Amino acid sequence: MSPLLQVKNVTKKYGGLTANNDISFDVAENEILSVIGPNGAGKSTLFKMIASFTPTTSGEVIYQGERISNLKPHIVARKGVVRTFQETTIFKSMTVRESVVVAQHLRAKASLAGYFWGSKTAKEDVTAFGKYADELLEFLGMSEISNEQASNLPQGSLRALGIAIGLATDPKVLLLDEPFAGMNHDETMNMVNLVRSVRDERGVTVMLVEHDMPAVMNISDRIVVLNFGEKIAEGTPSEIQNNEKVIEAYLGSVDDEIGM
């Protein structure tokens, strides 16, 4: 299978600090790929560059044969590469359903003027958005909280809301930023199942940045390991678990804790 998304020799420098140095890897269609690494390894920076939230210093990100790095976030989102954020980045005073409806604006067929004058296409759009929002929220098991204000939601639901907003844009590639952080074991397992069903049932390719090792090992098809801005390993979960460099740099210090 030809890669859906390619990270090619990407480097990011902030002044004298190198956050990412010459990182390359491929993401295949329908894959769940995790980027892991200790704090400060440059995972979030890499994500920002893939979603074009920050420009690369050198190198490029290719999606379906097109360069998507150094563009603007909304253009990359239109192409189908959408990132989610950690839980504090939400539309605070909208309800869950409103957030999911507004997030569908890329699917709109009518123009902004059409909405203003209330054209037929616009009305059809509005109905379709509502219907899809309900469907999506049911898929994510969020129907019961669909009329809750986002600022009143507990942490776990906020993460799910982030994913719901991301999914509403109809992405091909979804970039999840620490979807399991701060969750207990049960919540994590629910989220793992959710992410997996996003891939299985919606055909969305998923990339995630995560610290929770058991969850990462459970969910990932492949893993890319960063350390001090360098890629030190890439492979299946079992390959990564047995990779000496990884154990040395990263897992070695915590292996008692996670029992590997």
Partner 1 sequence: MMLGFTSKQLVGVGIFLFMIFIGVPLIIGATGRWDFYFTLTSVALLAIASAGVWLTFYIGRINIGQGAFALIGAYVSAILVVKAGWSFWISLPAAGLFAAIVAILIGLPILRLRGVYFAMITLVLTQVVTLTALALPITNGAKGISNIPLPSSISVFGIPILPDFAAMENTKLAFYYTACIIMILTYAALYRLVNSRLGHLCRSMQQNEELASSIGVNISYIRVVIFAISSFFGGLGGAMFGSIAQSVYPSSFQVADSVNFMLNCFLGGLGFVFGPMLGTLVLYFGWDLLFEFGKYQMLIYSTVLIIIIRFLPNGLLSIRFGKGGDK
Contacting residue, 122, 198, 216, 249, with partner 1 by CB under 8 A: 122
Shortest separation between residue 234's beta carbon and partner 1, angstroms: 26
Instruction: State yes or no: residue 72 binds partner 1 (CB under 8 A).
Output: yes
Residue 13: phi and psi, rounded to 5, are -120, 130
Binding range to partner 1, per CB under 8 A, among 31-39, 111-119, 214-222, 228-236: 111-119
Residue 92 interacts with partner 1 (CB under 8 A): yes or no:
yes
Q: Locate 214 and state its tokens.
A: 């058991």
**How far apart, in whole angstroms, are the C-alpha atoms of residue 237 and residue 239?**
5
131 binds partner 1 (CB under 8 A): no
Which residues lie across from 27 on neighbouring strands?
5
Residue 89 is a binding residue for partner 1 (CB under 8 A): yes
Distance from C-alpha of 7 to C-alpha of 143, rounded to nearest angstrom: 37
Q: Which amino acid is at 39?
A: N
CB-wise, 84 or 205, nearer to partner 1? 84
Q: What is the CB neighbour count within 10 angstroms for residue 217?
A: 18
CB of 185 to partner 1, least distance (A): 28
CB 95 within 8 A of CB 146: yes
Closest distance to partner 1 from the beta carbon of 163 (Å): 12
Q: Where does residue 202 rank: exposed (0-12), middle (13-18), buried (19+ CB within 10 A)?
A: middle
Residues that bind partner 1 (CB under 8 A): 51, 53, 72-74, 77-78, 82-85, 89-94, 98, 101-103, 105-106, 108, 110, 112, 115-118, 122, 125, 165-166, 168-169
